[in-house]
Amino acid sequence: MSRYENWTREQLLERIAALESSSTNVPSKRSINGKPRKEQRPFDMSKYSQRHIALKVAYLGWNYMGFAAQGNEEAVPTVEGRLFQALQSCRLIVDPDQCQFSRCGRTDKGVSGLGQVVSLRVRSNLPQKSEEIPYIETINRLLPDDIRVLAWAPVSDTFNSRFDCRSRTYKYFFPRGKLDLDLMRQGASYFVGEHDFRNFCKLDPSKNITNYKRTVLSLDIRPVAPPALGASDSTGFFEVELKGTAFLWHQVRCIMSILFLVGQKLERPEIIQDLLDVSKIESRPDYPMASELPLLLYDCEFDGLDWKYAGNGAAVSTATPVRIYQHWQDLWADHMTRTLLCQTFMASMWGYPVESGSKTLASHLETHQDDPPSIVLGGGKEVRSSRYKKLLDRPRCDSDEVKKEKYRAKKKQKTNADNSTPSSSSTTPTPTTNNDNPIDEK
């Protein structure tokens, strides 16, 4: 049931109707409310004006398998897939593959976005009518509760959300716990500037990346929320704000993983300098990535975009921004209520007896704070281990070149297998079948 618990009533009704239709294998001539269904005419986009626009999209990512659509929204729900569904439902586009679509960032499963920017060619009212289509309101009415379009902007036909982006800013939220923030800040300072980040990312040989140098413009650690009511100071929340021109696959989560090790005093801050020196460490030590849950694509920076926060762009209407704000406020109140319930449970346990009743839970936690810690991964995830092995003593992952060699060998083997003729003892030749499926690059 967890798969459907966040669906809206309309989504659930549509799903039920689809299941009933498929089970009977008879096309339904009635809509969900029982009224006769009107036959829809094929939509002809060529009869309408079109324009290239950018959309600023916000989304809570924990219900999705990433931002980018993967072709099967039923099995692999994505933010982009839901956005395409809304755009097609209101006839702003016909085919996602034919609308010059581009995205600024390809966030992973569970990662959220506030400043995600996409660009595409959509239907327009201009110049036939004096007012443009209210893009924000039109799209938001068809989106699920955890996705909203915040603004739109007219852009040139050559605009590309990915390649025209000047910088991207991520935020990562974490509770202080027992982390030494001064050590984390010292380690964070080593990331600033241009470095080779191949030891802070996941290597994908199918992409044939030849340059792993990226520029980090800033990396700050600051408080964002005070300690929970009735709880210890360790429940105060902090954020890492990381700004760069571009990022590699899983780069931010790898950075956070190492910063957590430094904050726990399991690694010295200078380990970051060592890992950035690929002449010294040419392949990544085997360490887990930080959790995806606290990661947010906070902002994407562009030159000259005139963002419009109301539908038709003619004037800034207060209705649309207020409505979107109230929508997020409702979600915040729901989640904050759940948080306060958990905080109340935590606070109520401080006086509980432990160790055969000789101590309270509060005193037990205080006296055992120097016990060998679990490895913090963020988002409430930890790896429990009684003995910690230093990064440089761990097994190394394959280097970039080794991964590429293995990938090329696997691809060649696959090609040879597809082109080979099956052997047969029969006097009648067995016809060969050409395999036109693309090679699986995962």
**Active-site residue set:** 108
CA separation for the pair 401, 15 (Å, rounded): 47
Which DSSP category does 418 fall into? H
Contact (CB, 8 A) for 238 and 181 = yes
| Residues 256 and 172: beta-carbon distance below 8 Å | yes
Pick from 241, 254, 272: nearest CA to 203: 254
The 3-state DSSP class for residue 272 equals helix
Q: Which residues contact 279 (CB under 8 A, 6 or more apart)?
A: none
Q: How far apart are CA 307 and CA 299, in angstroms?
A: 14
Cα distance between residue 96 and residue 93, in whole Å: 7
**CB proximity list for 350: less than 8 A, separation 6 or greater:** 230, 360, 361, 362
The residue among 132, 121, 197, 127 whose CA lies nearest residue 155 is: 121
